[in-house]
Amino acid sequence: MFRLQSSKVLAVDMTGDAVKAKNGSMVAYDGEMAFKKLSGGGEGIRGMVTRRLTGEQMTLMEVKGRGTCWFADRASEINLVSVQGDKLYVESSNLLATDSGLRTGTEFTGLRGASQGNGLFTTTVEGHGQAAIMSDGPAVVLRVSPQYPLTVDPGAYVAHQGNLRQSFQSGVTFRTLLGEGGGEAFQMRFEGDGLVYVQPSERNTIAGDV
């Protein structure tokens, strides 16, 4: 159902089924399509309340019909991820589309440092199907194994999946060394067996300019 028209355009071929996509990301379609804005990330009233309480924002639309619909967002690179009964964790701003076999949610992932105690939340995608995630530049997929844990700058983090334990630890980054950091810098550490998707650029995070 999902295929890349180019590295920056997702094509979805539909035969009466539906997909959820980032609101406003449709760039073209042929055939007959119907569009409906979804509240709370398409998770109903409970999802809307949860996302409002956690500050995890995600505005999606449902696209249903017959034909082909093309999606893109700010010329971001698009990566197709297969979810087969496991759970994909992804930054909400990096989620472009999911097919009808997947459901989204919000999950607590840890505390941002013991001194501040702020909760961190992320969007989850689970079920059986395909998801399209975006990255600023071509994403790099890094393997985590029990012998080789991985530490990631949160500004470069996009998503992860597999049997991974995620934790946060204080640390310094290149920006911090240059005197450009702000707030309490932290790093994301992954242990176990799975995949982590990172992008070759850094966004601002809730930890400040890390």
Whether 150 contacts 196, CB under 8 Å: yes
State pLDDT tens for residues 78-114. Answer: 999 999 999 999 988 899 999 989 999 888 776 544 4
**Which residue intervals of 77-189 are DSSP H helices?**
174-177
What is the spatial distance between Cα 32 and Cα 22, in angstroms, rounded to a whole number?
19
pTM (two decimals): 0.81
Percent of the chain with pLDDT over 90: 59
What is the spatial distance between Cα 165 and Cα 58, in angstroms, rounded to a whole number?
24
Helices (H) and strands (E) in the chain, counts: 2, 13
Please determine, for residue 40, whether its predicted confidence score (pLDDT) is greater than 60: no
Whether 51 contacts 93, CB under 8 Å: no
Long-range contact pairs involving 82-85 (C-beta distance under 8 Å, separation at least 24): 82/129, 82/130, 83/125, 83/126, 83/127, 83/128, 83/129, 83/130, 83/131, 83/161, 84/128, 85/126, 85/127, 85/128
pLDDT at 113: 43
Residue with tokens 């994403």: 139
pLDDT at 172: 61
Whether 120 contacts 109, CB under 8 Å: yes
The residue-averaged pLDDT of 134-161 equals 94
State pLDDT tens for residues 162-205. Answer: 999 998 877 665 555 555 554 446 788 999 999 999 999 876 54
pLDDT at 107: 83
pLDDT at 131: 97
What is the spatial distance between Cα 146 and Cα 194, in angstroms, rounded to a whole number?
9
Residue 78 is inside which H or E element, if any? strand 77-90
Q: Which of 64, 73, 67 is nearest to 22 (CA)?
A: 73
Percent of the chain with pLDDT over 70: 74
Residue with tokens 């180019």: 6
